[in-house]
Amino acid sequence: MRRLRRLLQRLLVFLLGVVTVWLIVFVIFDTVDRRLPWVIALAVTYGLAAYVVLPRAIRIGLRILQRGRVPSYTLTGDGLPGDPVNIALIGTERQLCDAFARMGWSRADPLNLKSSIRMAQAFVMNKTYPNAPFSTLYLFGRGQDLGFQLPIDNSPRKRHHVRFWGRPTARAELAIDTPGFWLDSDRPSPDEEVLWVGAATKDTGFSLTRLSFQITHATDDDTNKERDFLVGELTRHGVITNLQSQLSGERLEVGKVNKYVTDGEIAVADLRA
């Protein structure tokens, strides 16, 4: 049964690939080619394929292969593997925010033009920005719901930080083995008890992304160490209970954006009232 299910998943991914190629070649390029010179049409097709169509197709394919499992990693905006999932906390949004406030961590500002400009200024001039925004990573088909950070040496270039995506525990208990659990992108309401799936990493300085050469933070490879640091802080401040470890659904063997060392374990705990 498991082999049959896996075969069906791969068949769906194959069909998705066929449809994607057909859309790029016979719809996008054909339409643009009738209106523009072929060189410009080719460039426009490449832009739409590389930055619009393919990233979404990759995310859908990865969701199909990961369905019914605790995910091993988040996704970048172009559908490639991002930060590993390494922590999960259970409680309301208020409990989560209170826990990190008690530890002295700051909630990240939303990523927009204003916060991006302020972050760039702080990064270049090495000025403190405790609420600096995070780049967007994806889980459950959406960007992170909440993010928290702790600057290192009051520098915007180095920080402990964690992103969280919430799934209501009522729905999680009933639907964790169904595709709908992982494909449902609805955000939880503030008063619901939530399974907060998180990815904790440590920024260590300045870097460029490997694919687009955008300015970004360099990250520490050892996400196990960062997970253990965060769990230690949560425990030391008495904001969690019932701590346990759980293996993720699949380990990420290769990475094309960031390379991480991970043992594939997720720390799971309840938030204290």
What is the predicted pLDDT for the residue at 256?
37
Question: pLDDT tens digits, residue range 204-244?
Answer: 766 555 544 445 556 667 788 899 999 999 999 999 998 88
User: Of 16, 33, 66, which residue constitutes the final position of a domain?
Assistant: 66
Q: Say yes or no: 133 and 29 in one domain.
A: no
Q: Say yes or no: 9 and 112 in one domain.
A: no
Span 98-103, mean pLDDT?
95
- DSSP-H helix ranges across the chain: 2-22, 30-33, 38-48, 54-66, 93-103, 113-125, 169-175, 179-183, 223-236
Q: How far is CA 211 from CA 21, 95, 112, 160, 267, in A?
A: 21, 38, 22, 24, 31
User: Of 49, 66, 83, which residue constitutes the final position of a domain?
Assistant: 66
Q: Say yes or no: 103 and 164 in one domain.
A: yes
Q: Say yes or no: 54 and 107 in one domain.
A: no
The span from the CA of 165 to the CA of 90, in Å, is 11
Domain that holds residue 61: 2-66
User: Of 48, 66, 84, which residue constitutes the final position of a domain?
Assistant: 66
Q: Say yes or no: 214 and 90 in one domain.
A: yes
Is 0.95 surpassed by the pTM of this model?
A: no
pLDDT above 80: residue 42: yes
Q: Say yes or no: 150 and 194 in one domain.
A: yes
- Count of structural domains, the chain: 2
Q: Say yes or no: 47 and 131 in one domain.
A: no
Q: Say yes or no: 82 and 156 in one domain.
A: yes
Q: Say yes or no: 103 and 26 in one domain.
A: no
